[in-house]
Structure 1
């Protein structure tokens, strides 16, 4: 048997281990006792280990990220922990959900439980971006998300109506949310002949491409971006390519640049000229 991660006593028993097996693994340093009833292997994820040692389990944005959901980078600096009713009373800094605390089912919460806790840590735009990521990857359906937030305030539940399963990255979701918030209408994942599918289109011809990764961009990807931009320009489109930093770190300047284009009406086709190619929403 190959153990890896953090386990409760009950989980180890379900895996077929007996008390003496667990005691032997601890004696041989193959398992470390984190707190009563919880054990970790030597290669367990440090965030999970930290959460269990603090008296709870990994939840909120940390658990969502573990399941492959996009979460705001700035919220992952601290470990997000939640506990059962007793642990929650003892630890006022633990993450909480709307409604009563529930029993721990494993060292890492599933997506539903993690999302219920995350909405109390996320901003409105963060809730929408996380919802987009869950829907885009088909990890949960919209009906599931609504069910998870049934105990949340109406203002939180209503944010789900702003989610879009077509959104391809968290940064793209943030841009869409922020533009809608200043009454700039955008279309999501629009396919343009000869160019391909672009992230966002404002008006007739302003393409917004959003780099969803702060650090990793290969030479091949950058060359393909340039080809797409040339193809778009040849048809009269304007492409504004946003880095992750332009969205997260310097958004005010980025928004000013977008609004300048819109105020000049450069996002619209000149009166006597229309698009040379057809475009459709993906």
Structure 2
């Protein structure tokens, strides 16, 4: 988890500090009192500090981002929650299904953040968030189901299509969109001579997707081209989509995929019912 540096009084005591030492550090400036039951050290995250000063805690998508989970959107919007009194005074706070709960750490843990995110996002975005949680082994699918027990049935059903093999949220989104079109797609497929590919449609259409955080070096760019050349030698087609292509230009990207599928070019001639021995997948 990203370094926070904001603590409750109980958390400071748990580190071994005494009440006297806490008061002394507040006087010397080593600790800064942000408000009721919240203290920060000199290296504390300023976004979390500002939320704590208002008596709230970082939650929902922002908290999940702090835990390293892929979330949709940008980091500019700060998702936060409060106690029961706070919800009577402010409307810009995230909520979970059911009653508000007590405020503990300055940043919610993954289960609490997920419960609040479940009310903020729908469809493929919720699937992508849960995929990321599974991929990073922060929770199991059974634990996610338990935390989502109070969510509407439509959202709980989305858990049936989650896949922890997905390496990025954009990959999850593309998988959901293609399957909604009744297109057969496999995730993180290992192909001999090429390596692991993000998605494989049919027998021979490889789809590689760049995540928002992915920045190519010259070496990475050349490796991508090498893989594409090798794929072509082995009879595969390759489409590469950027983060922008998935999030804002999907109509064009989807059109490319659909054109290939309609023409049957995603399938090998004469081997439609055979298995390519070069292909292995964790989730056939």
Shared fold, TM over 0.5: yes
Per the shorter chain, which TM-score range? Answer: over 0.9
How far has the Cα of 1:5 moved from its partner? Answer: 0.7
Q: 1:57-114 CA distances to partner (integer Å, 9 max, x unpaired)?
A: 111111111111111133x321111122222333222111011111112111110000
Query: What is the number of residues matched between the two proteins?
Result: 279
Structure 1 equivalent of residue 106 of structure 2: 107
- Contact residue 203 and residue 276 of structure 2 kept, 8 A: no
1:214 Cα offset (Å): 4.5
Kindly report the root-mean-square deviation, in angstroms, between the aligned alpha carbons of the 2 structures. 2.0
> Could you tell me how far apart the structure 1 residues matched to 2:276 and 2:139 are?
39
How much does 1:13 deviate? 2.5
Please tell me whether the aligned partners of residues 235 and 277 of structure 1 are also in contact (alpha carbons under 8 angstroms): no
Q: How far did 1:251 drift?
A: 1.2
How far apart in 1 are the matches of 2:276 and 2:229? 14
Q: Distance in 2 between matches of 1:39 and 1:272?
A: 65
- What pairs with 1:213-232 in structure 2 (closer than 5 Å)? 213-232=212-231
C-alpha contact 1:72 1:126 (8 A) present in aligned 2: yes
d(CA) in 2 for partners of 1:196 and 1:246? 23
Aligned equivalent of 2:69: 69
Q: Which residue of 1 aligns with 2:38?
A: 38
SS at match of 1:240: strand
Q: Give the CA deviation at 1:153.
A: 0.7
1-structure distance, mates of 2:65, 2:115:
14
Structure 1 equivalent of residue 254 of structure 2:
255
Paired with 1:31 and 1:164, the residues of 2 have a C-alpha distance of 43
Q: Say which SS state the counterpart of residue 155 (structure 2) adopts.
A: helix
Mapped to 1, the partners of 2:276 and 2:22 lie a distance apart of: 70
> Once the 2 structures are TM-superposed, how far is the Cα of residue 277 of structure 1 from its aligned partner?
5.4
Structure 1 residue 192, shift from structure 2 partner: 1.3
The DSSP-based 3-state class of the residue aligned with 1:187 is: strand
Match of 2:233 in 1: 234
Report the secondary structure of 1:119's partner residue.
Answer: helix
Contact 1:5 1:40 survives alignment (8 Å) = yes
Q: Can you give the 5+ residue segments of structure 2 that lack an aligned partner in the other structure?
A: none
The question of 1:245 aligning with 2:244 is answered yes
1:112-162 per-position Cα deviation (integer Å, ceiling 9, x unaligned)? 000000111113111100110111111100000000001111011111111
Structure 1 segment 88-167 matched on structure 2, within 5 A: 88-167=87-166
- Asked whether the 8 Å contact 1:4–1:41 carries over to 2, the reply is no
Q: Verify the 8 A CA contact 1:236 1:275 in the aligned structure 2.
A: no
Contact map agreement 1:5 1:44 (CA 8 A) in 2: yes
TM-score, normalising length from structure 2? Answer: 0.92
Equivalents in 2 of 1:42, 1:272: separation in Å? 64
Cα offset for 1:231?
Answer: 1.3
Q: Distance in 1 between matches of 2:57 and 2:266?
A: 49
